[in-house]
Amino acid sequence: MSNNDPGGWRLRRQLSIVVVWIILAGATFARGAPEIDTPPPFFIDDGSRQSLNVALDAQISWLTELDHTQQFALGSTRISSRKLLHTVRSFKELIEADLNPVGLNEALRRSFSLVKSPGRNGSGKMLVTGYYEPLFAGSLTPDGGCRYPLYGLPDDLISIDKGGRRVIGRRTDTGNPAPYWSRSAIETNGLLRGNELVYLCDPFDAYLLHIQGSGRIRLSDGTVKSVRFAGSNGLEYMSLGKLFVDRGIMELSEVSIPAMRDYFSDHPEKLTQMLHHNPRYIFFGFGDKGPPHGSLSIALTAGRSVAVDDTSWPPGIGYLVSRRPVLDGNGAINHWRPFGRFVVVQDSGTAITGPGRVDIFWGNDEYAEVSAGIMKEEGELYILVAKSSDELGDSR
């Protein structure tokens, strides 16, 4: 996504402060959502039409392949994949009508119900963060300073179903899986030696790839290799940023990727111990040159794809209201600007839990790196649901 801010753009919106679910005034309410007479936002999209179409087309293709009776979480209720497909198709038809802002808002109110996330602790406010596809220096062999490996999927990693719950562990001689090795055990004891995929030149870069889930590695000859999430050790994710706050090193408002990088540069003796606080470990594989894929195996679209907790929200269309940085000519943050845009739920992650979290994918350019490294903003998320039944008679 470009760091250029749309000229003359002004976000007009009406914000709800109600600590409950809301639906568009006068709409057909989704089951499980109480009727609250609160005005919705005024929908203005600050992104490009092309990026929205790319994300919508990808979602339609994915939903088309599903069993139409498959159910997804929609807050405290459920929604079928058939209804989601009908919603995305109907929304795309509306967008292609190229209505003016007033006409678009009138059409949205007529044709769609809107479910608002209750947010964190029922406040109606989300924590909005960003992620991106980083580019780091590396090597296919442990040459020079590049000695911090990313590992491929180990042979002894297994995943089994236990009563409908997926359990990841380590294969043992008894046939019963044991918990897989932690980050500390893997890196301290060299337990995966021989399974190295690529080596990075900075240990914090390697850790960030575990957090972002995918990235690109620039080799010494100038070629670039893409690495993609292939699996995890199944252990709980422990936030490094929270550790900084808990130890009194930084205030929450000060935590960012650049700030943590600066701290480790000044205190290199703290790096290993603090990174090992997070036992979760990610394994990688090489990927193609296209954009990374989210948890749905859909190629992510910069500025449109979002990650949410899939036990709270379905893989559908949302409208996100928050603020984002605007960069100057040198790539530094000049100011912050409110924004509203339609987004598509195409990803999830272990750090994105509950109805009060949303993570927006910014891409792989300079703007993406800056935004992903600094964003932890308040926002609001609304999920769109078509009011009408589809051609197969589904109204759920």
- The CATH number covering residue 223 comes to 2.40.240.50
Give the percent of the chain with pLDDT over 90.
80
Q: Are residues 74 and 178 in the same domain?
A: no
285: confidence class by pLDDT, cuts 50, 70, 90: very high
Q: Is residue 14 part of a domain?
A: no
For residue 62, the enclosing domain spans: 49-131+299-364+377-386
187 and 57 together in one domain: no
Q: How far apart are CA 175 and CA 368, in angstroms?
A: 45
Cα–Cα distance for residue pair 195/197, rounded to 1 Å: 6
pLDDT (average), residues 381-396: 72
Phi-psi label, residue 30: left if phi above 0, alpha if psi -120 to 50, beta otherwise: beta
The pLDDT of 67-87, averaged and rounded, is 95
Q: Is 44 left (phi over 0), alpha (psi -120 to 50) or beta?
A: beta
pLDDT digits (tens, 9 = 90+) for 184-214: 999 999 999 999 999 999 999 999 999 999 9
Separate counts of helices (H) and strands (E) for the chain: 9, 17
Out of 229, 255, 287, pick the residue that ends a domain.
287
Please report, as a single letter, which amino acid is at residue 65: E
- Higher-confidence residue of 154 and 76: namely 154
Per-residue pLDDT at 1: 41
Are residues 221 and 323 located together in one domain of the fold?
no
Q: Can you spell out the DSSP letters for 55-109? A: HHHHHHHHHHTS-TT-EEEETTEEEEHHHHHHHHHHHHHHHHT---HHHHHHHHH
Same-domain check for residues 281 and 161? yes
Mean pLDDT, range 307-321, rounded to an integer: 97
Say how far apart CA 18 and CA 21 lie, in whole Å: 8
Are 244 and 158 part of one and the same domain? yes
Residue 281 and residue 150 share a domain = yes
Asked whether residue 34 is assigned to any structural domain, the reply reads no
Please check whether residue 183 lies inside any domain of the structure.
yes
The overall average pLDDT reported for the chain is 88
Residue type, 228: R
Same domain? For 191 and 242 the reply is: yes
Q: What is the DSSP pairing of strand 376-386 with strand 126-131?
A: antiparallel
More confident residue, 138 or 15: 138
Average pLDDT over residues 121-150: 94
**Does residue 19 lie in a domain region?**
no
Residues 333 and 262 in one domain: no
% of the chain with per-residue pLDDT over 70 = 88
Task: Report the distance separating Cα 121 and Cα 356, nearest Å.
Answer: 8
- Whether residue 352 lies inside any domain: the answer is yes
**How many C-alpha atoms does 212 have within 13 Å on its Cβ side?**
30
Per-residue confidence (pLDDT) for residue 365, from 0 to 100:
96
Residue 91 inside a domain? The answer is yes
In 3D space, the residue among 375, 342, 372 whose CA is nearest the CA of residue 92 turns out to be 342
Residue 357 has pLDDT above 80, yes or no: yes
Judged by average pLDDT, the poorest of 108-117, 157-166, 218-227, 266-275 is 157-166
The domain spanning residue 353 has which CATH number?
Answer: 2.40.40.10
Establish if 136 belongs to a structural domain. no
Domain boundary among 229, 258, 287: 287
pLDDT of residue 36: 33
Q: Which of 287, 309, 333 is the last residue of a domain?
A: 287
253 and 228 part of one domain = yes
Q: Do 67 and 176 lie in a common domain?
A: no
Is a pLDDT exceeding 60 seen at residue 254? yes
Per-residue confidence band for 390, with pLDDT thresholds at 50, 70 and 90: low
User: Is it the case that residue 18 has pLDDT exceeding 60?
Assistant: no
The DSSP call for residue 183 is H
Judge whether residue 389 has pLDDT over 90.
no
25: Cβ–Cβ under 8 A, 6 or more apart, which residues? 37, 38, 39, 40, 109
pLDDT of residue 40: 80
Residue 1 within any structural domain of the chain: no
**φ, ψ dihedrals at 273, nearest 5°:** -60, -40
- Considering the domain architecture, whether residues 119 and 150 belong to the same structural domain is answered as no
What's the structural domain count of the chain? 2
Tell whether 169 and 217 lie within a shared domain.
yes
